[in-house]
Amino acid sequence: MEGAMDDVRIRETLALAWERCPALRTRMEEAGLALEDIRGEEELARIPVLKKDQLGVLQTQAPPFGGLLAVDVKDLARIFVSPGPIFDPQGAVPDYWRRAQALEAAGFGPGDLVVNTFSYHLTPAGFMYDEGLRALGAVVVPTGVGNRELQVEIITKLGITGFVGTPSFLAALLEVAREKGWGPGSFPIRKALVSAEPLPSSLRNMFQDEWEIDTYQCYGTADVGTIGFECSQKEGLHLAQDMVVQICDPVTGEPLPPGQVGEVVVTLLSPVYPLIRFGTGDLSKFLEDSCPCGRWASPRLAGFMGRVGDAVKVRGLFI
Ligand SMILES: [Zn+2]
């Protein structure tokens, strides 16, 4: 994200968070920062990174959202629970996690019947996709996790056109489908958006070449929702809207230039949950070239490249 308009949104979000989120205010004041010190993306890096494990600590100190929620708890739509436990809010707005843009880039839209094989319990993954698909006008069949034989029956009886879930679960479904006598010509799924796991190119090739399922990846977290997604080039992840993504030195929090691997640090420009400089603990890097699709001007992420703990151990290798 860049430009004067984005800096305005950063200032607006910070002003709101300063007013309503005492934990953000404390973090800035402890770093000797006043609200006026942050004029845009460049100065954002002066705010210390909030690591994911610190989020759990803050939530324990000031339950349930650690002084980081900008609305009243009773104005939320849902509350989810990540391992920790860490509570994740869903604001009462359509497509709260901004997943529709990733689905649209993967070719999902009106007329699609989609099995949503992510869990709808505790984790927000199921609802993230559900809301995004509904925002696009697609029909959702909330099949959730497991029940492979039943899922294959549902897919073939309903003429399901799209799959969302993990790549390994899609592979497992296709294995059952093959056992039941279905093949690329008869099995109806034609598109897939996968996340939550790496997608090896061997698996993508199998989905696409063998089963004719056009397969895309999406990347996000339970805390901040969609971060990046693939376009038709399938080379790197375009950045999602309504957030600032920085790749930072995992130790100092300093932004790193394109090509260097660091922690994915997200600032969520949300009036509900304005997480500022949130350290996801994931490693990635910005790609140095622009995407031939020309659809989005923003830089692209290389995708998930490991966890920060691994990088610190072998820091010389990465940085
Ligand atoms: Zn592109």
Q: DSSP for 161-225?
A: -EEEE-HHHHHHHHHHHHHTT--TTT----EEEE-SS---HHHHHIIIIIT--EEEEEEEETTTE
Q: How many CB atoms lie within 10 A of CB 91?
A: 18
- The pair of structure tokens assigned to 1 is 């994200």
Q: What is the pLDDT of residue 319?
A: 33
Q: Fold for domain 4-92+223-318?
A: Rossmann fold (3.40.50)
Residue 1 has pLDDT above 60, yes or no: no
Query: Domain segments of the chain: what residues?
Result: 4-92+223-318, 100-219
For the chain, what percent of residues have pLDDT higher than 90? 89
Q: What is the pLDDT of residue 208?
A: 98
Q: What is the pLDDT of residue 311?
A: 55
Report ipTM (2 d.p.): 0.99
Distance 278 CA to ligand 1 centre (A): 25
Q: What is the pLDDT of residue 288?
A: 86
Burial class (CB in 10 A: 0-12, 13-18, 19+), 15: middle
Q: What's the CATH superfamily of 100-219?
A: ANL, N-terminal domain (3.40.50.12780)
Distance 158 CA to ligand 1 centre (A): 32
Residue 36 has pLDDT above 60, yes or no: yes
Distance 237 CA to ligand 1 centre (A): 8
Q: Do domains 4-92+223-318 and 100-219 have the same CATH topology?
A: yes
Confidence of residue 299 (pLDDT cuts 50, 70, 90): confident
Residue 317 has pLDDT above 60, yes or no: no
Residue 251 has pLDDT above 60, yes or no: yes
Q: What is the pLDDT of residue 295?
A: 72
Burial class (CB in 10 A: 0-12, 13-18, 19+), 61: exposed
Q: What is the pLDDT of residue 129?
A: 98
For the chain, what percent of residues have pLDDT higher than 70? 96
Distance 311 CA to ligand 1 centre (A): 28
Distance 297 CA to ligand 1 centre (A): 9
Distance 89 CA to ligand 1 centre (A): 30
Average pLDDT, integer, range 19-44: 97
Report pLDDT digits (tens) over 53-83. 899 999 999 999 999 999 999 999 999 999 8
Q: How many CB atoms lie within 10 A of CB 10?
A: 22
Residue with more model confidence, 202 or 295 = 202
Q: What is the pLDDT of residue 46?
A: 98
Cα 87-91-93 angle, rounded to 5 deg: 155
Q: What is the pLDDT of residue 309?
A: 81
Cα distance from N-terminal residue to C-terminal residue, the chain = 23
Residue 314 has pLDDT above 90, yes or no: no
Mean pLDDT, the chain, rounded, equals 94
